[in-house]
Structure 1
Amino acid sequence: MSKWEPVTFQESLSFVKKVKARDYMLYISLLDVLNRNDQIPLQAYSELSLLFQHHEDLLAELSKFRPLPCPNNVYTHGSIWMIIFLMPFLLLSLVLALRSH
C-alpha cells in the first residue's frame, strides 16, 4: 500500500470543476453527500464511489480523497469530520459558485 499524501487545494478544485463540467446533477449529488454531517468519512466515500460508478475517470480520481482508516472514535465528533473531509469541498463549491456569478 502506498503512503497517503494529502490532497492539495488545487487538486480538490480541479476535481470539483471536472464533476461540475461533466454533469451538473452529479455535481449537486456530490455536494448533497458532502453536506450530510451524520456520516463518517468512509460512509461518504462509499456513497460517492457509487455515485461515480459510471464515470471511471472520476472514480479513479476520487480515490485520492479516500479517508485513512482510523479507529471509530476519531470520527464520532462532528467537528473533526467537518475539518478533515467536508470543509475543503464546501469551500470549493463556494469558490465555484462565486465565480459563476
Structure 2
Amino acid sequence: MSKSEPVTFEESLSFVKKVKARDYMLYLSLLDVLNRNDQIPLEAYSELSLLFRHHEDLLAELSKFRPLACPNNLYTHGSIWMIIFLMPFLLLSLVLAFEKPLKCFLLQ
C-alpha cells in the first residue's frame, strides 16, 4: 500500500479486531494508548510499536498507520519543554546584558 493512500475505517477496524482476537491484554493496551490525548501521533505510534514488538505480523500491519513526520512543527512536546527550560537563562542573560548600562543611567 502506498503511503499516499489514506487508511480506511474498515482497515482500521479490521486491525483492532485482529488484535483483540489475538491477545485481549494487548487490545486493552492499544486502546489505552489511543485514548491518551497528551501524545502526539508519532509518540503514540512509537509506543504501539513497542507493544507489538513480539507480534511481527501485527507490527507490519501497524506500519500502515504510521503518521507522517512533521519537521515544520515547532510545538512538539520536546520543544515546549526546551523553551520552558531555557527561558530563565534567556531572562538572566537579558538582565546581565542591561545591568551595567542601567547602573550608569541610574547613577547620573
TM-score above 0.5, yes or no: yes
Bigger radius of gyration among the two:
2
Greater RCO (Cα-Cα under 8 Å, separation 6 or more): 1
Q: Superposition RMSD on alpha carbons, in Å?
A: 16.0
- 2: CA distance, partners of 1:95 / 1:27: 54
Question: How many residue pairs end up in the alignment?
Answer: 98
> TM-score, normalization: structure 2?
0.64
5+ residue gaps in structure 1? Answer: none
- 2: CA distance, partners of 1:58 / 1:32: 17
Shift of 1:88: 41
Residue-by-residue CA offset, 1:43-91 (whole Å, 9 max, x unaligned) = 0000000000000000000000000111463876999999999999999
- 2: CA distance, partners of 1:90 / 1:21: 54
5+ residue gaps in structure 2? Answer: 98-107
What percentage of residue pairs aligned between the two structures are identical?
A: 92
> TM-score, normalization: structure 1?
0.68
Of stretches 31-40 and 73-82 in structure 1, the one that deviates more from structure 2 is: 73-82
- 2: CA distance, partners of 1:11 / 1:88: 48
* Structure 1 SS opposite 2:73: helix
Distance 1:27 1:14, change over 3 A: same
Distance 1:90 1:21, change over 3 A: farther
Of stretches 56-65 and 78-87 in structure 1, the one that deviates more from structure 2 is: 78-87
Of stretches 33-42 and 84-93 in structure 1, the one that deviates more from structure 2 is: 84-93
Runs of 4+ in structure 1 deviating by more than 3 angstroms, as ranges, are: 71-97
